[in-house]
Structure 1
Amino acid sequence: MSQKAMELVCPAGTPAALRTAVDAGADTIYCGFRDQTNARNFPGLNFSRKEMQQGIEYAGKNGSKVLVAVNTFAQAGNMDLWYKAIDDVAASDAHAIILADIGLLDYAASKHPDLRVHLSVQAAAANADMINYYAREFGAKRVVLPRVLTVQEIAAINKEISCETEVFIFGGLCVMAEGRCSLSSYCTGKSPNINGVCSPPGSVKYEDHGTHLESTLEGITINQYPKGEAAAYPTLCKGRFESLGETGYVFEDPVSLNAAQILPQLQEAGVTALKIEGRQRGKAYMAQVVKSFRQAVDAVAAGRSIDLDALLAPMTEGQKSTKGSYQKTWR
C-alpha cells in the first residue's frame, strides 16, 4: 500500500549545489548565510542575501523548499548579527529557519511569531521532555534528532511529542550528542557550536613515517595506518586507541553513516524527514546521493525495496559505512 513519502532534506553549500539538489529531486534544501551565524562558515561556501533569495526562488519554481540554518550560538556583545539573520529569513520566502541557541529561539518567537522554526541538532534535544519544551515555549515545528538514538528510541519519542522529527541518513557521523561534545574544543580551541567543525582542516596533518602513515589533530596523534590501509579524516571520537592490551576504535569506526537499508523502519517509527549531511560537498556528490535517495524514498513509500549500497559506496568515507546508533551493538 502506498503512503506519504518521507521528506528528503538535502544540503547546499553553494548556489550551484542548491540547483543540483533541486534538479536531483530534493524536497527541501538547507543552507546558510556567508557569516558567523552559519555553522558551516567556511571559505568558498554559503550564500549572500541576494544568492539566498535567488536560491529560494529557483527551488520554489521547481517544487522544492529552502530551510535557512542560523545554527551557531550567538556571541556575547554581538547579538545584532544573529538578530539580523533571523529578520532576513523572516522577510524572505524561506520555508523555515533552523535554530539552536535558546536566546535566538526566544527572539524569533517574540519578533516573528509566524516564522516556522526547526530545532537544530546542535540543541541536542534527545528526549520527549526537551522536545516538547521547545515546541511549547518557542513554537518549534520540527526537531533534528542527534545521531545517538536507536530506531526504537526514535519511535518512542515520536509517540510523546507534538512536533515533527528529522533524522540524518547519510554522510558524516557524529557519535556524540551534537551540541554537547567538548573533545574537539579541548584539542583545537575551537567550539563546534560556534565554529561549526570538530576537526578544522588547519589543525589536521598527515605524516608518512615509512612503515605507517600518522594522522594528527593539532599535534595530537589520532591514528596510525599501516602501509596500504586507507586513512580516514582524523576526529577525536573516531581515533584508534590502545587500552588493556588491545588496539581499536572505542566508539565507532571512522566511516560514513548510511541508513539506506533501514528507511522502512524509520518511516514506521514516525520520522517525517530524512536529512543528508554535507554542505561542504561538491555538485557531483550531491547529484549522485540525492538521486539515489530520491529513488529509495519513493520506493519505500510505494512499498517496494531498493538496494543503494553499490550506488552509494563511492560516496562514503573509505568506501565503508555504518548504520550508526540506529542499529548499534556497542562494544
Structure 2
Amino acid sequence: MTELVRPELVCPAGTPAALKSAVEAGADCVYVGFRDETNARNFPGLNFSRKELEEGIALAHDHGAKVLVAINTFPRAGRPDLWHQAVADSARLKADAVILADIGLLAHAAHHHPDLRLHLSVQAAASNPDSIRFYAERFGVKRVVLPRVLTVQEIATVNAAIAPVETEVFVFGGLCVMAEGRCALSSYATGQSPNMNGVCSPASHVRYEERAGGITSQLAGFTINKFGEGEPAGYPTLCKGRFIANGKTSYLFEEPTSLNTLAMLPELIKAGITAFKIEGRQRGRAYVAAVVQAFRQGVDAVMAGRPMPDIDLDRITEGGRQTTGAYERTWR
C-alpha cells in the first residue's frame, strides 16, 4: 500500500490581519499579492505593501509557514517593469515562491532569479502532462496549480506522469465558470478584467438600488440581479447574474455556489496532490480562520486514520450552496 503524503494547506491572505489569522489557524502556506495590478485580486483595501510583506513573511516563518506571492496577471505589452519589480522584490524579501502565469515573466524570473522557486498559476490553465512538462523543463517550475476541470482520477493520472513536479488544487471557495484566468466578461461592462487588471467587477462600478419589493444590483449601469425583501443581495458579477431569456428568469451561466471538498479529502490525498488551496483573498479574517481550521482538522484526521470530522461551512459558502465541482463529474 502506498504511503500517504501529507498535503500542504495553502491559504489566502488579502491583508496582514488575514495572514496572521491563517498561520494561527494552521496554514502551511499563505499566498498573498502586492497592492497593484500584478495580482488577480487588485481591490481597494486589499493586498500588501513591500513593508507589510516583509513583516508578514517574518511572522509566517516564525510559525513555520511559507509565503507565496501571486504575480499572476499578464504584463502589459512593452510595459513589464511593474511585474519585473514584483518578482525582484519577492526574491529580495525571501518569499518562499512566486506564482506566475505569463510565459515571458516566467522566462524573466528563471533567468534573473534562478534561486527563486517558481509555481505555475491556475491562470496558465496547464491541465495535461505535456503542458506541465513544458513549463517544468523550460522554466524550472516546481509546482502547478491545476484548473478546476479535472476529476480526481484524472488528477492522479497527471501526478503519475509529471513527478517530481508538484500539483496544487483548489479545495474550497468561489468558482469561475470561465476558463481559468481568461475571463473577459467583466471587461465588456467595466473595461477591466481579472487577467489584465486584476479585478473582476471592480467595486467602483457596483451599485445597489432600493426599489419597490427589494434591491437591484448593478454593474456599470447594467442590472445584474434583483433580490426580494429579506433576500441576501449578492455581489454583482456578470457570470452569476439572473437574466430573462425566452420569458424565463434564471442564472444563465452559473448559480452562486462554493466549492467544498471536505468530504473528499481522503480521495484527494490518495491522488498524490502536494497542496490543497483555499480561495478567498478578498474575504475577511473570520472566513479565513473558519475555513483554515476546518481543513486543518480534516487533513489531520485523514493522516491520522481518524474519521472525517463533521464540519458545517454552510454559513460562509456563496449563496449558502456547496458543490464538489468537476472532482466527481459524472457527465462524461
Give the TM-score normalised by structure 1. Answer: 0.91
Indicate which of 175, 186, 199 corresponds to 2:201.
199
* 1:325 and 2:329 aligned: no
Question: Within the alignment, does 1:306 sit opposite 2:308 as a pair?
Answer: yes
- Give 1:164's aligned residue: 166
In the alignment, the residues of structure 2 paired with residue 126 and residue 259 of structure 1 have an alpha-carbon distance, to the nearest angstrom, of 19
Superposition map of 1:54-65 within 5 A: 54-65=55-66
Alignment of 1:292 with 2:298, yes or no, is no
Cα distance, 1:203 vs. partner?
2.2
Match of 2:138 in 1: 137
Give the SS at the match of 2:161. coil
SS class of match (2:30): strand
The amino acid of 1:220's aligned partner reads F
Distance, in Å, in 2 between the alignment partners of 1:235 and 1:307 is 34
Equivalent residue for 2:282?
Answer: 280
Unaligned runs of 5+ in 1: none
Could you say which residue in structure 2 is the equivalent of 1:315? 316
Q: Distance in 1 between matches of 2:57 and 2:143?
A: 20
Deviation, 1:61, is 1.6
The C-alpha deviation readout for 1:260-301, integer Å capped at 9, x for no partner, is 111112112221111111112222222111111110111122
Instruction: Give the aligned partner of residue 69 of structure 1.
Output: 70
8 Å CA contact 2:183–2:195 kept in 1: the answer is no
Shift of 1:313: 1.6
Give how far 1:236 is off. Answer: 2.0
Query: Equivalent pairs: percent with the same residue?
Result: 64
Instruction: Please give the alpha-carbon distance, in whole angstroms, between the structure 2 residues aligned to 1:221 and 1:128.
Output: 42
Whole-angstrom CA distance in 2 between matches of 1:20 and 1:9: 13
Q: Give 1:326 deviation, angstroms.
A: 2.0
- Does the residue aligned with 2:142 lie in a helix, a strand or coil? strand
1:137-191 CA-to-partner distances (Å, cap 9, x unmatched) read 1111111112232223322322222411111111221122222222222222112
Whole-Å separation in 1 of the counterparts to 2:25 and 2:58: 17
Q: CA deviation at 1:67?
A: 0.6
- Comparing 177-186 with 219-228, which one deviates more in the overlay? 219-228
Tell me how far 1:309 sits from its aligned partner: 4.2
CA displacement, residues 237-280 of structure 1 (integer Å, 9 cap, x when unaligned): 22234445654334432122211111112112221111111112
For the aligned residue pairs, the C-alpha RMSD in angstroms reads 2.2
Task: Check if 1:4 corresponds to 2:8.
Answer: no
Name which of structure 1's ranges 214-223 and 64-73 shifts more when overlaid on structure 2.
214-223
Structure 1 distance, partners of 2:17, 2:213, is 42
Query: Which of the numbers 256, 259, 274 marks the counterpart of 2:258?
Result: 256
Q: Distance in 1 between matches of 2:252 and 2:173?
A: 20
1:218 aligns with 2:205: no
The corresponding residue for 1:25 is 26
SS of 2:176's partner is: coil
Change (3 A) 1:184 1:102: same
Figure out how many residues of one structure are paired with residues of the other and give that number.
330
List gaps (5 residues or longer) in structure 2: none
Q: Any conservation in 2 of the 1:132–1:161 contact (CA below 8 Å)?
A: yes
Provide closer, same or farther for how the CA distance between residues 35 and 180 of structure 1 changes in structure 2, counting only shifts above 3 A: closer
Change (3 A) 1:50 1:229: closer
User: For 1:178, which of 177, 180, 188 is the aligned residue?
Assistant: 180
Normalising to structure 2: TM-score of the pair?
0.91
Tell whether the 8 Å contact from 2:4 to 2:269 is kept in structure 1 after alignment: no
Residue identity in the other structure for 1:232: G
**2: CA distance, partners of 1:235 / 1:305:** 38
Question: Aligned partners of 2:249 and 2:202: how far apart in 1?
Answer: 26
Tell me: CA distance 1:245–1:41, structure 2 relative to 1, closer, same or farther (3 Å).
closer
